[in-house]
Structure formats: C-alpha cells, structure tokens
C-alpha cells in the first residue's frame, strides 16, 4: 500500500500549492519541507484504523442474484487475502462495515440515462453508476454504497478495491493484492463513479492466434473454460459491460455449442453483454460465414443464413457484430449488401438480439470491386435500418482526430470521426479502436509501443465529450506489456469524482498504484514521451515495423501500415546519392538517436530501480522487468534497423562512388539481434502467462495461421529476414515467408 489515502491526497494537494500546479515529480518530492511531511504523518496516524474485521452487508436478494453473489464472494476472498483478517457477510460487530443497497428492479425496465438521450432503437443496459460515502460510527468505519442495479453494485465493490484500496486487476491471470493492514479511507469521504460509456468492453480478435483463441473455439483445449471465465472476471473487475470475440469457420458445432453456452451463460451470470463477431461471407482469416457460395453452399443464401442463425442461437447471444464485406478493401455490391442487412435485421429480431456492423477505416474511394449503385429505402425499410448499430473502427496507435495517420491508404482517420458524429445521431454507435495491431506492427516484431496510451486516452476523452455511447476496444494480445494498454483503457472508461472534483486521467497513471514508486512512474512517462517524439512525431514507425506481404507484392500494393518513403529494394539497387543522404538524415540518424536515448533513459534510473528491487515484492519486480524489457527491445529494434539500413545503402553507395561495403554495420545488426534474443528468452521463460508452446511455436490451431501470435518473436524472424534481404538482395514476398497467403486470404482451407 502507498500509505493512507488521506495522506496521499493531502501531499498531492500540497504539491499543487507549493509547485504552482506543476506536475508531481521525484525532485519536487525530495524538496518537500520537513514540516509538511510531519503534518502528513500526523494526519496518517489520526485517520488510519488497524483492520481486524470487515463485513460486507448485503440483503438476501443480493446474495441470491448471480451478478452480485459472485462478486460478493470474490471480494470477500480478495479482502481476506489482503488484510489477513476476518471478512464476513452481515457481521454487525465488524470494525469496517461495507453496506450495500438493494437493487431497484425497475432499473431493468426503464430507460437508462444513456437511452433517454436518443430517439432510435437502443440496446438496453441498466444504469450502473455508483457512489461510496464513508462515515465514522461508534468504534466503526461505515462505507455506504449507492447504486441502482446489480451491475452497479458489482462494479462498485470492485471499484472500491482497485480505485481506493490498492488492488490492481491488471491481467486476467494476475492480480496485485496489497498488504492491507490499516484502513486507508478517511471518514467524511465521498467518491462518485460515473460510466463514460454505456457499452464498454473488448473485442478479442481471435482471427489471430492470441491467448484465448483456442480456448474459445476448442472445447477440448486444456483449461479452456477456466481461461475464458478468468477473462470475463477481469472484465467485471475492471468495470466493463461487454465481451466479444471472432467466431471462426473451424468450429465443430455439435461440440462447440454446449461449450459456448457455458461461457456465455457465465458472461450473463456476471452481468455482461455477450457478443459474437462473424461474417455474412467474409473469406479471409477463416471468419465464420453465414452462407457459402457454390460448391460449398448449395442452398440459397437466405436459407443458409436462417439455418446457421438457428444453430448459433442455441447460445443466448445478446449482440451479433456482423462483417458484410468479403474482405478488407473489397466493396462488393452495395445494393445487395443493404438487402442482406435488412434481411438479417428481420431474422435477428426473432432472437431478441441486437445487430451491429463495423465500418472499416478504408475509405469508400479506396475500395475495389464497387458495384450496385445507390440503395433506396422504403419508409418501412428506413425504420428497420435504424435498428442496426454501427462500430466505427480505427487502427494502430493513431487517434481518430490526429492529422497524420498514414494507414490503409489514408492521410489520417478523421473521416471516421466525421462518420461517428453523423451516425450517432441516427443509430446506436460505438467507437472501435485498437490496443494492438499484431501482424508486422507491434508485438510480432516485437515492440512495446507506449504511444498507444496517448492515442487511446485522447480518443476516450473525445468520445466522452461527443457523447458517444459505446467504446469497444479491438484487442490483439497482452504479452510484452500490452496488458497495460487494455487495463488502462478499461479504467479510463469511468469518470471518478472525489469531494466533488473530477479526477484527471494521464497516460501512465495506473502504474503508480502498481509500483508505489515515483521514479518508476517518471521513467514510464519519459519513455512514453520519448517514443511519442521519435516513433510518431518524427515518423520513424515506417522503419520500425516489418514489411507486409502487400508491401513487397507486385500486384495488390495497398498500404496497410506506414511505409518508408523509399522501398528497401529501391535503396539497395536504384537510389541516387540524394536519396541515400536523405535516408541517412531522416531515418538512420534519428533511429540511432532514439536507440541511444532509450539506453540512456534506462541507465538514468538504474540506481533507483536496483534499490526498488531490494524492497519490492516478487510480483512487482516481475511486472517491472516485463515493462523494462519491452522498452529496451524497442530501442534495440531501432538500433538494429539503423544498422541494416546503413549496410543496405552502403551497397548502393559503393556502386555509385566506388567505396567499400559497410560490412561492420551488418555484423553489428546481428550482434544487436543476439542481444535482443536474451530479452525474448527471458520473456518466454518468466513472463508469458499462457502456454509458451501455444503462444510462440508452430502448431495447428483454429486460425489460418500455423503458429501462435508470438511465433515471429521466438527467433526474431523479421529482424533475421531484414538482415538476409539486405545481404542477398531478396525483396520478394516468398523470401523467408512465414505466411500461408492463400489460406489467410481465403483461397483454400
């Protein structure tokens, strides 16, 4: 624990007074007057209370309802572990009394505060804001919870643990539990928690071979249900309301339906919305298709759809997130798609579910295969169309409003911002950003790209300001520190007000509770700012990511993630000296500078980190090392890329100027990769929380990929490939290729 809550806030207020509202830093902490520290100790002594017993006071109805009953039991066990004291139910003699309200059954039938604002069909979820008020009783501390729904009571209990008592629900497999010896919440304390979004949660992109892909699709996968329910528990503990994953064609329905029913029922038991992502006829990445064309599909499209819907709705889904395109960048017949949407809306009403559909970041002008013209709705069809919702998608570590986001043939993603504001006026609309991109961009390289924190927080603030009702995050894996992005997003989706003052959010704020160390938080803030400057603002990201298949293709050359100005093949074989000088100045030197500054930053804090390791718990040290490795390998990636580029351009410069090839640069790149491999092996042995074989090796599975999502990291495949490309002039798709391209794009199974 970080001392008492009162002392912490008292010191924070004092910092603001003494430092004229400047940010809290380690240096300013060291300059605090001794008298101020003495005062804080006096307040700590006065208002802390040793914990010997806690009671959770709940009525019979709460103890019988699964949403609150599971939470009460979980919180009871968590508190017992933290305080090593008696934690009981309805014990009026306990020194700490957590008093829960009765749920208002009417809240499930009345419009929520979100629904009251709209005049279109809206999927109802009950109001779930909550308030805690603390007061002193006779020899007791009493905390009174106010909330209308079972969900709000559940979120309120977990919020108390995480926001006020020092718990950290940072990963589905791990929780940081404090040593709770003294009660840290003062009397006369009021804290209000207000949901920024009605629908908030995560889409697990299980078209990729990420942590839960096999568990969600294979009933026989070891510990499948346990792994899934751990994740659902993580969602609830972090105040989320929505759970979704991609359904794949490779399921075996007879065995899978009972499996899915088990985890979807548990999703409902915990008070969450259960959603499945599937497609009408998307052929790429083994997405589940509601209909097939000949020869796989013999019956008509609508007959196939109706049959598959009947099969899948043996599971009690609340939402279907539908993909209506055949593939990304493929437009298809617009009129036919609208016809099928209307048919789907009619059919899904039979199952009392909500139909949602995502809008990709690809602009309509950049799509191929556009046919079908304009679809003219009748009055009845227009009314029906309002019943579908939409998710507006953005990609990678770019916000929806920033001016430079060169992805999917776009200059930026502001067209999606314009669209979300427009759609929000006429249908249920949710924002749908990414917390990782995986394929050749971040964790597959690997890099821990901390600017995701800035972009996702900026977007949350934007969506909250613009009154967007939903925020569903597209999640593609948690290792190499990416759990930090998801965990932060989940917590930012709530607005907290203490003593009437709204608590401001910052990108690295939640690490303070994990480490209780100003130096570590300062290090993370500086690392985030450093990456933001070099990787995003100075636009080094095109050099740090790996080349995609389409980057090296002769035919389908659509740009997915940012590309360098000059292709590597051009630099090696055709570049002019002006091009080479430009790459030296605008790529190689900044890459080397970023790598050097990353090393210096880590060295700057080494003394404090060494001291911290001596006093911190094993779990805190483990989390710290995972993040430090992620920062370090991102710097090494930059240094490696600088050296392969130096070697590559030296070949061309040698031909133009008759100078020798810089063989030392390639040798240095190899040495850097070998250094980075030590970090990879440390992560695999000590930090991967799921089976390493599943995550990081070649294997059969349900996706179109023949390996786990961290397989490219296992031997730093892309780093090796780039060395070989530069040395051997191999810039064709199939050189050291790991992708089964026909299978991924859906040409065959």
What pLDDT was estimated at residue 44?
Answer: 44
pLDDT single digits (tens) 297-323: 667 888 999 999 999 999 999 999 988
Query: Who wins on pLDDT, 117 or 487?
Result: 487
Q: What percentage of the chain carries pLDDT values higher than 90?
A: 78
Residue 280 has pLDDT above 70, yes or no: yes
Q: CATH fold of 48-194, please?
A: Chitobiase; domain 2 (3.30.379)
Residues in the chain: 749
Cβ atoms of 427 and 390 closer than 8 Å? yes
pLDDT over 70 percentage in the chain: 90
CA dihedral of residues 639, 642, 644, 649 (deg, nearest 10):
-170
Q: Residue 149 in contact with residue 103, Cβ under 8 Å?
A: yes
Q: Phi/psi of residue 124, each to 5°? A: -80, 130
Distance of alpha carbon 247 from alpha carbon 228, whole angstroms: 14
**Cα 680–681–682 angle (5° rounding)?**
90
d(CA 513, CA 493): 18
Q: Which two tokens stand for residue 356?
A: 């949602």
Which residue carries 């060295």 as its tokens?
Answer: 603
Q: Check: CB of residue 543 under 8 Å from CB of residue 564.
A: yes
Eight-state DSSP code of residue 165: S
Confidence of residue 381 (pLDDT cuts 50, 70, 90): confident
Q: What is the mean pLDDT of residues 542-553?
A: 91
Instruction: Indicate if the alpha-carbon torsion angle 157, 160, 165, 167 is positive or negative.
Output: positive
Region of poorest pLDDT, from 44-48, 212-216, 593-597, 599-603? 44-48
- At a CB cut-off of 8 Å and minimum separation 6, what does 412 contact? 398, 402, 403, 404, 405, 406
Indicate if the pLDDT at residue 13 is higher than 60: no
pLDDT of residue 151: 98
Alpha-carbon gap, residue 338 to 341, rounded angstroms: 5
Contact 345, 384 (CB under 8 A): yes
* Mean pLDDT to the nearest integer, 377-402: 91
* pLDDT given for residue 332 in this prediction: 56
- pLDDT over 80 (residue 327): no
pLDDT for 333 equals: 64
Q: Measured between alpha carbons, how far is residue 331 from residues 554, 740, 749 in Å?
A: 22, 24, 23
Domain ranges of the chain: 48-194, 199-505, 520-745
User: For 171-175, 252-256, 343-347, 629-633, which range has the lowest pLDDT when averaged over its residues?
Assistant: 343-347
Quickly state the pLDDT bin for 16 (edges 50, 70, 90).
very low
Q: How far apart are the first and last CA of the chain?
A: 53
Question: pLDDT digit string (tens) for 607-622?
Answer: 999 999 999 999 999 9
Average pLDDT over residues 427-449: 97
Tell me the pLDDT of the chain averaged across its residues: 90
Q: In the CATH scheme, what is the homologous superfamily, with its name and number, of domain 199-505?
A: Glycosidases (3.20.20.80)
pLDDT (0 to 100) of residue 678: 98
**Residue among 275, 692, 702, 312 nearest 473 (CA):** 275
Most confident of 40-49, 511-520, 633-642: 633-642
Q: Please compute the mean of the pLDDT values over residues 537-561 and round it to a whole number.
A: 88
Under the banding of pLDDT at 50, 70 and 90, the label for residue 366 is low
Check residue 48 and give its pLDDT.
61
The three state secondary structure string of 187-217 is: CCEEEEEEECCCEEEEEECCCCCCCCHHHHH
Handedness of CA 456, 461, 465, 469 (dihedral sign): positive
Alpha-carbon distance 57 to 50, whole Å? 20
Amino acid 572: pLDDT = 95
Q: In the predicted model, is pLDDT for residue 49 greater than 80? A: no
């Amino acid at each position: 624990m970080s001392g008492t809550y009162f002392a912490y806030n008292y010191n924070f207020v004092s910092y603001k007074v003494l430092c004229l509202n400047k940010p809290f830093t380690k240096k300013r902490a060291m300059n605090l007057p001794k008298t101020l520290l003495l005062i804080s100790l006096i307040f700590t002594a006065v208002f802390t209370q040793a914990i010997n017993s806690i009671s959770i006071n709940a009525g019979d109805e709460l103890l019988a309802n699964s949403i609150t009953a599971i939470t009460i039991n979980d919180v009871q066990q968590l508190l017992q572990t933290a305080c090593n004291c008696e934690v009981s139910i309805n014990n009026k003699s306990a020194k700490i009394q957590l008093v829960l309200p009765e749920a208002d059954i009417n809240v499930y039938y009345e419009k929520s505060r979100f629904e009251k604002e709209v005049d279109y069909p809206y999927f109802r979820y009950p109001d779930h804001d909550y308030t805690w008020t603390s007061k002193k009783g006779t020899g007791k501390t009493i905390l009174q919870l106010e909330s209308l729904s079972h969900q709000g009571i559940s979120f309120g209990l977990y919020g108390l643990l995480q926001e006020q008592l020092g718990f950290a629900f940072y990963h589905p497999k791990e929780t940081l539990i404090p040593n709770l010896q003294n009660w840290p919440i003062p009397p006369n304390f009021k804290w209000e928690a207000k949901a920024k979004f009605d629908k908030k949660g995560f889409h697990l992109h299980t078209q990729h071979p990420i942590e839960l892909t096999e568990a969600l699709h294979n009933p026989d996968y070891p510990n499948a249900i346990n792994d899934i329910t751990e994740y659902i528990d993580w969602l609830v503990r972090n105040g989320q309301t929505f759970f979704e994953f991609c359904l794949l064609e490779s399921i075996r329905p007879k065995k899978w339906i009972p499996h899915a029913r088990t985890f979807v029922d548990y999703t409902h038991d915990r008070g969450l919305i259960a959603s499945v992502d599937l497609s009408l006829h998307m052929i790429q990445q083994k997405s589940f298709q509601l209909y097939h064309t000949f020869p796989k599909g013999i019956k008509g499209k609508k007959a196939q759809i109706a049959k598959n819907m009947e099969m899948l709705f043996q599971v009690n889904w609340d939402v279907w997130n539908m993909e209506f395109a055949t593939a990304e960048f493929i437009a298809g017949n617009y009129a036919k798609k609208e016809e099928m949407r209307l048919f789907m809306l009619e059919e899904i009403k039979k199952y009392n579910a909500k139909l949602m559909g995502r809008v990709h970041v690809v602009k309509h002008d950049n799509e191929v295969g556009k046919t079908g013209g304009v679809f003219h709705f009748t009055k009845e069809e227009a009314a029906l169309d309002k019943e579908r919702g939409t998710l507006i998608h953005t990609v990678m570590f770019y916000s929806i409003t920033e001016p430079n986001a060169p992805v999917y043939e776009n200059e930026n993603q502001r067209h999606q911002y314009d669209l979300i504001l427009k759609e929000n006026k006429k249908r249920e609309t949710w924002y749908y950003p990414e917390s990782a991109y995986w394929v050749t961009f971040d964790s597959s390289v690997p890099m821990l790209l901390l600017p995701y924190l800035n972009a996702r927080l900026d977007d949350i603030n934007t969506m909250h300001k613009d009154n967007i009702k939903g925020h569903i995050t597209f999640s593609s894996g948690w290792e190499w520190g990416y759990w930090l992005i998801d965990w932060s997003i989940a917590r930012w989706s709530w607005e907290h007000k203490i003593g009437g003052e709204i608590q401001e959010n910052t990108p690295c704020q939640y690490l303070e509770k994990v480490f209780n160390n100003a130096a570590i938080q300062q290090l993370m803030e500086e690392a985030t700012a450093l990456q933001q400057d070099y990787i995003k603002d100075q636009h080094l990201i095109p050099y740090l990511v790996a080349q995609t298949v389409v980057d090296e293709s002769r035919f389908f050359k659509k740009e997915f993630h940012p590309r360098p100005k000059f292709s590597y093949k051009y630099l090696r074989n055709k570049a002019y000296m002006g091009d080479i000088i430009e790459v030296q100045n605008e790529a190689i030197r900044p890459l080397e500078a970023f790598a050097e500054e990353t090393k210096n930053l880590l060295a700057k804090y080494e003394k404090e980190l060494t001291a911290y390791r001596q006093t911190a718990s094993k779990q805190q040290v483990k989390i710290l090392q995972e993040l430090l490795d992620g920062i370090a390998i991102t710097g090494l990636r930059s240094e490696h890329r600088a050296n392969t580029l130096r070697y590559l351009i030296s070949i061309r410069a040698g031909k133009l100027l008759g100078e020798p090839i810089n063989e030392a640069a390639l040798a240095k790149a190899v040495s850097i990769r070998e250094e980075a491999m030590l970090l990879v092996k440390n992560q695999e042995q000590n930090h991967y929380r799921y089976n390493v074989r599943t995550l990081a090796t070649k294997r059969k599975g349900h996706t179109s990929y023949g390996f786990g999502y961290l397989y490219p990291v296992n031997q730093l495949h892309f780093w090796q490939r780039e060395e070989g490309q530069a040395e051997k002039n191999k810039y064709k798709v199939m050189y050291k290729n790991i992708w089964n391209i026909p299978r991924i794009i859906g040409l065959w199974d």
